[in-house]
């Protein structure tokens, strides 16, 4: 790896709403994309810092790109990291943005449940681990959206989902009943990149840590 390559760092960010908060945080440590990432259809963007580029991916892909070294660093929600197992990369910093809760929700007027319940979620692995630890038998049904409909229509007894305000649950006759995990965005780092590009990457980690912790 050449000296130039050792100074080049790519940070993977999550598209959509998390992107705005990630860019605000990066801006506070002096990193700005050279074009508007919100309107461009590009996936990789140069920044005002030489050798530093930003990559925009789906949330479920950020950790994969970091783990395989395509991106040196990434910002991803802990919900996604928990679902994928939190392995294959370092997780040095809680960025304290994108805060929400991973909860179990059920109908407000939930009746008696069978011995083996059905749970709908896009977080299949998290749901299975959670109920296994509780010793409860479940069948997990994978859904990608409209989670609140599952108990209402009888598809599932309960759901495991991200809850921010609880307003959507309430509007559909559901309530959050069990807390699984507090979710925020985390900084993740490729293990090889941290060794090979230690000075640059550790500098970025330190800058972000000072900003996040108000130092």
| Domains in the chain: boundaries | 3-98+184-212, 100-182
Between the CA of residue 146 and those of 123, 169, 201, what are the distances in Å?
14, 11, 39
| Contacting residues for 82 by C-beta, under 8 A, at least 6 apart | 102, 123, 125, 126, 181
Alpha helix locations (H) across 68-164? 78-84, 124-134, 149-153
Tell me if the pTM is above 0.85: yes
The CATH homologous superfamily of the domain defined by 100-182 = Periplasmic binding protein-like II (3.40.190.10)
Residue-wise pLDDT for 127-140, tens only, equals: 999 999 999 999 99
pLDDT surpassing 50 at residue 78: yes
Maximum CA pair distance of the chain? 65
Note the pLDDT tens digit of each residue in 125-183.
Answer: 999 999 999 999 999 999 998 999 999 999 999 999 999 888 999 999 999 999 999 99
Q: Among the CATH numbers 3.40.1160.10, 3.40.50.970, 3.40.50.700, 3.40.190.10, which is that of 3-98+184-212? A: 3.40.190.10
Burial 20-59 (b: 16+ CB within 10 A, else e): ebbbebbeebebebeeebeeeeeeebebebeebbbbbbeb
Q: What is the mean pLDDT of the chain?
A: 93
Q: 3-class DSSP state for residue 91?
A: strand
- Which pLDDT value is given to residue 123? 96
Pinpoint the alpha helices (H) of the chain.
3-7, 17-28, 59-67, 78-84, 124-134, 149-153, 167-171, 191-196, 198-212
């Amino acid at each position: 790896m050449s000296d130039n390559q050792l100074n080049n760092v790519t940070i993977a960010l999550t598209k959509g709403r998390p992107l705005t908060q990630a860019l605000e945080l990066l801006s506070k440590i002096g990193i700005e994309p050279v074009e508007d990432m919100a309107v461009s259809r590009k996936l990789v963007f140069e920044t005002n810092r030489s050798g530093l580029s930003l990559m925009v991916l789906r949330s479920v892909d950020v950790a994969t790109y970091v783990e395989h070294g395509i991106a040196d660093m990434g910002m991803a929600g802990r919900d996604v990291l928990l679902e994928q197992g939190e392995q294959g990369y370092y997780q040095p910093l809680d960025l304290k943005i994108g805060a929400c809760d991973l909860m179990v929700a059920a109908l407000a007027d939930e009746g008696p449940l069978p011995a083996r319940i059905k749970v709908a979620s896009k977080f299949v692995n998290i749901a299975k681990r959670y109920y296994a630890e509780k010793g409860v038998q479940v069948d997990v049904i994978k859904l990608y959206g409209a989670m609140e409909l599952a108990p209402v229509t009888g598809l599932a007894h309960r759901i495991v989902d991200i809850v921010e305000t609880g307003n959507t649950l309430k509007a559909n006759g559901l309530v959050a009943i069990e807390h699984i995990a507090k979710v925020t965005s985390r900084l993740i780092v490729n293990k090889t990149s941290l060794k090979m590009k230690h000075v640059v990457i550790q500098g970025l980690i330190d800058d972000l840590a000072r900003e996040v912790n108000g130092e």
